[in-house]
């Protein structure tokens, strides 16, 4: 084989390899950005149905009896963020699951099991994906101080108000403490911490949104003002 033929053959082989690699990368991107969203959408539909059925059952006769612990991956609450309600016909509402393992977060945002529960004294920590598996926290960077974050449980609405946002390293676990960034300090208020990857399409850092409990309302008393004002366009 002449030298020129060998070069052309080699270049042809390199070109075919690059095309193959490009197709594989394209399919991977489609899977990550589209298929995973469909997977989570189905999971969310099932979680909503299960949560609605569980909440429809009669509560324990003794209010002092603590509900049985839920299994990892099961729905525990519904998270609503009026600031992200760009579509009035499809308001932002996503089921929060118990746990933050990769399997749990494929279903939706998850509660860090070591953190406190909605409304409890301490820090409720919820983590979620920003670009895949439904990307529930895709637009978390749009939240500003004063914005409402509403957590719905079986019988109560908890309205938290954003106090600030920080970008931290993935190792900054101190933001999940009962009093964020203050180890050893006993909590005196109920706070909420939302975490997600930063920047988009990267896990190099974490975006952390801090919020403080502003209102607790029994569902039997109606909807919280944060939702009714948003629904009315205020």
pLDDT in the model for residue 99: 97
Assign 234 a pLDDT band (cuts: 50, 70, 90). Answer: very low
pLDDT in the model for residue 38: 85
146: left (phi over 0), alpha (psi -120 to 50) or beta: left
- Poorest-confidence range of 40-44, 112-116, 120-124, 156-160? 40-44
Q: Is a pLDDT exceeding 70 seen at residue 230?
A: no
Predicted TM-score of the model (pTM) = 0.82
Cβ atoms of 193 and 208 closer than 8 Å? yes
Rounded mean pLDDT of 177-190?
A: 97
Rounded mean pLDDT of 17-34?
A: 46
Rounded mean pLDDT of 1-13?
A: 56
Peptide bond into 199 cis (omega under 30): yes
Q: Is a pLDDT exceeding 70 seen at residue 164?
A: yes
Residue with tokens 């099961």: 74
Q: Is a pLDDT exceeding 90 seen at residue 229?
A: no
pLDDT in the model for residue 58: 80
pLDDT in the model for residue 24: 38
Q: Is a pLDDT exceeding 60 seen at residue 27?
A: no
**What structural domains does the chain harbor?**
34-57+72-231 (2.40.260.10)
């Amino acid at each position: 084989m002449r030298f020129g033929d060998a070069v052309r053959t080699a270049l042809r082989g390199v070109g075919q390899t690059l095309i193959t690699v490009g197709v594989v990368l394209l399919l991977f991107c489609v899977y990550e950005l589209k298929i995973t969203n469909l997977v989570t959408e189905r999971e969310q539909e099932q979680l909503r149905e299960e949560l609605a059925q569980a909440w429809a059952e009669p509560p324990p006769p003794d209010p002092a009896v603590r509900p049985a612990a839920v299994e990892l991956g099961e729905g525990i609450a519904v998270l609503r963020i009026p600031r992200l309600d760009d579509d009035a016909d499809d308001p932002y509402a996503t089921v929060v699951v118990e746990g933050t393992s990769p399997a749990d977060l494929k279903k939706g945002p998850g509660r860090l099991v070591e953190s406190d529960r909605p409304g409890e004294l301490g820090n409720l920590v919820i983590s979620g994906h920003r670009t895949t598996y439904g990307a529930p926290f895709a637009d978390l960077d749009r939240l500003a101080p004063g914005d409402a974050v509403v957590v719905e449980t079986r019988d109560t609405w908890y309205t938290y108000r954003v106090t600030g946002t920080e970008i931290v390293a993935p190792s900054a676990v101190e933001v999940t403490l009962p009093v964020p960034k203050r180890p050893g300090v006993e909590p005196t208020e109920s706070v909420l911490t939302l975490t997600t990857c930063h920047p988009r399409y990267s896990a190099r850092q974490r975006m952390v949104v801090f919020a403080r409990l502003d209102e607790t309302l029994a569902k039997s008393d109606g909807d919280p003002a944060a939702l009714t004002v948003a629904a009315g366009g205020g």
